[in-house]
Structure 1
Amino acid sequence: MDSITQALLGATVQASLLGRWQGRKALLYGAVLGTLPDLDVVIDYGDAIADMTYHRGFSHSLFVLSTLAVVLAWLARRIRPDPAYSGMRLFLTVWLVLVTHVLLDAFTSYGTQLFWPLTTPPVAWSSVFIIDPLYSIPLLLAVLVGAIAGLKGRSPRLAGVALALSTVYLGFTLAGKQMAEQRVETVMAEQGIQASQIFSTPTPFNSLLWRVIVIDDDRYHEALVSWFDDRPPELVAIPRGKQLAAVLSESPQHARLQWFTGGVLRYDEVAGQLLVTDVRLGMTGFHPFRFALAERNSAEWRLIPFVDRLPAERGDMSRLKEIWQRIWHQQPGLPLAEWAAELNRR
């Protein structure tokens, strides 16, 4: 999730457990601690794919953060002990602030390596967009009220209510994800589509309209599904360029990217370069993670040893407005094939 939401979550967790003793400082401590796992973004891992796939690695490991919570609680108890609450309560607070950060990240589509150093694939439950106001607003209100009215000596009911509401909302997003996939699977069965993988994710800034990706060999299908649809979803076929992946059989960057994304990738040849796109993230035709992994020299392909991330557009307000209208109105459908084709014309 975005850093502001993570800071709000950390502040609310700490306020709910230690606010009555630490007062407003609990909000500050929790906010700082809640953003700590994301400090790995300052590390240069070597190239753009390494930076992408090693982010949310060791700093988001449940094993590492549990150990860190022990160390931080011990140091805090040694440097500035407070007899009003126990060391166990302090440890539990620090641990929950850190762990809720990475668990919330796992609800997004990016991929979070919760079990590092194990080589299991990253966890991406992909039920929440990276910025979701409906999740963040209860936490923001709790933090604002706590900062204005104070917390010391008070029962932290509002913080607890905010955490409960945000948690219930996460459950709602999981229900939406299941709804969208079930509707698409019904259409797949009717059309005889055999998918090697299905990936679903909410569209930008909401959890009412879902984007479902169906990997089908050399193409992938995209469908949009809203809670308010009254007709079966339309599956739009988009070329995937799978045959180009053979060029990258010796590329360690491609192997790393496949592992990180679960293979939800698209391949395009543009201006003599082989571009690989993570189509999980962003929106159809607007994907923030796109890389040139090989270039054509005469009739032969040559791997690019140092990989950069290509510039990406974020879309525009007119597209966002169309997506918002699609939540409430199934017809007319959005031109997904046209948007996907535009990706190679920028």
Structure 2
Amino acid sequence: MDSITQAVLGATLQAALLGRWQGRKALLYGAALATLPDLDVVIDYGDAVAGMTYHRSFSHSLLVLTGLALALTLLLRWRPHPGYSAGRLFVTLWLVLATHPLLDAFTSYGTQLFWPFTPTPTAWSTVFIIDPLYTAPLLVAVIGGLVHGLRDKPPRLPLLALALSSLYLGFTVAGKQMAEQAVEKELARQGIHADALFSGPTPFNSLLWRVIVRDGADYHEAVVGWFDRQPPRIERFARGTGLHAVLADSPQEKRLEWFTGDWLRYDEIGDQLIVTDLRLGMTGFHPFRFPLAERRDGQWQLIPYVERLPMERGGAAQMKLIWARIWQQQPPLPLREWAEMLKQTSRPVGA
């Protein structure tokens, strides 16, 4: 999630558990500690693929953060506080730290919760990277704590905010299940066999869902909303898997395949082979696209230092269509037209 959301979540947690003793300082301490896992962004991991796939690794590991919470508890208890126990301090620090990667795992990116072990990164994919409805109650609790204070007061507002934000997460889980069940029913009706299925919310909301289905050399996409009354419209696209053999010796492609769970598309654009992570963003507007090979003298050559292509973010026109599609199925979103964006050439970031 975005940094503001992580900060207000940490601040609200610390306010709920230690605010009556720490006062307004609990908000500062919680916000600062909750943003700590994202400081790994200052590390230069190498090229763009490494930067993407090593982010949310060791700094987001529940094992590492549990050890850090224990170390901080031992350090801070050299000067015992008369109001609360070391156990309460440890639980607070652990929750503030651990809820950061757990909340990140609700997005589509992928979070390595069990680093140094290497299962496919966790992506429950029920909330967009920025979701104002999740953030709002936490922000209100933080502002309320700053204005009215916390010392010697029962933590009613922080607890209420945490309850509301948690209920909202539950609603997003229900939305994901609704969308997947609708698509699975339509796939069965059309006789389409799904090798795998991935779903996530469309930008900035949890009412309209994008579902992608892997089917051999192709993939299908559908958009499903809470207010839909008709079966979803399913579009078929080519994954370009015939180009996969070109990247047989590419360490970047292997890492992307692991990190994304093989939700990749391959396109030959000009003299470059572009690999796209299909999970993130919206159809045709994907933030992680990488040129991994290029033609030289008629032969494919791997690119040793990979840079990320700039993202086509769309604009007000696309958001207006998405907003309208939340409430009505017709007209459908122009997924095929938007997917053509993936065939356009562009220069890597920093090039």
Give the whole-Å Cα distance in 2 for the aligned partners of 1:27 and 1:180: 37
SS at match of 2:20: helix
Query: Which residue of structure 1 lines up, in the alignment, with residue 167 of structure 2?
Result: 168
Are 2:158 and 1:180 equivalent residues in the alignment?
Answer: no
Query: Which residue of structure 2 lines up, in the alignment, with residue 77 of structure 1?
Result: 77
Give the whole-Å Cα distance in 2 for the aligned partners of 1:179 and 1:245: 33
SS at match of 1:28: helix
**TM-score between both structures, scaled by the size of structure 2:** 0.97
Query: Which residue of structure 2 lines up, in the alignment, with residue 227 of structure 1?
Result: 226
Letter in 2 for 1:220: Y
Query: Which residue of structure 2 lines up, in the alignment, with residue 265 of structure 1?
Result: 264
Runs of 4+ in 1 over 4 A off after TM superposition: none
Give the whole-Å Cα distance in 2 for the aligned partners of 1:85 and 1:342: 57
Letter in 2 for 1:21: W
Query: Which residue of structure 2 lines up, in the alignment, with residue 35 of structure 1?
Result: 35
Letter in 2 for 1:62: L
**TM-score between both structures, scaled by the size of structure 1:** 0.98
Give the whole-Å Cα distance in 2 for the aligned partners of 1:185 and 1:240: 20
Give the whole-Å Cα distance in 1 for the aligned partners of 2:342 and 2:244: 18
Letter in 1 for 2:21: W
> Shift of the alpha carbon at 1:227?
0.4
Give the whole-Å Cα distance in 2 for the aligned partners of 1:318 and 1:14: 41
Give the whole-Å Cα distance in 1 for the aligned partners of 2:207 and 2:310: 29
> Shift of the alpha carbon at 1:229?
0.1
> Shift of the alpha carbon at 1:298?
2.7
SS at match of 1:189: helix
| Root mean square deviation, CA, Å | 0.8
Any idea what the Cα deviations from partners look like across 1:131-164, whole Å, max 9, x if unmatched? 0011000000000001100000000011001001
Q: Is there any run of 5+ residues in structure 2 with no aligned partner, and where?
A: 346-351
Letter in 2 for 1:296: R
SS at match of 1:84: coil
Give the whole-Å Cα distance in 1 for the aligned partners of 2:25 and 2:74: 19
Are 2:178 and 1:192 equivalent residues in the alignment?
Answer: no
| Matched length | 345
Query: Which residue of structure 2 lines up, in the alignment, with residue 17 of structure 1?
Result: 17
Give the whole-Å Cα distance in 1 for the aligned partners of 2:308 and 2:73: 39
Query: Which residue of structure 1 lines up, in the alignment, with residue 348 of structure 2?
Result: none
Any idea what the Cα deviations from partners look like across 1:41-92, whole Å, max 9, x if unmatched? 11111111011001000000010000000011111222x4311111111111
Any idea what the Cα deviations from partners look like across 1:173-209, whole Å, max 9, x if unmatched? 1111011000000111111111211000000010000
Give the whole-Å Cα distance in 2 for the aligned partners of 1:201 and 1:23: 38
Give the whole-Å Cα distance in 1 for the aligned partners of 2:118 and 2:321: 40
Are 2:91 and 1:114 equivalent residues in the alignment?
Answer: no
Letter in 2 for 1:95: W
SS at match of 1:160: helix
SS at match of 2:109: coil
Q: How does 1:1-346 map to 2 (within 5 A)?
A: 1-78=1-78, 80-345=79-344
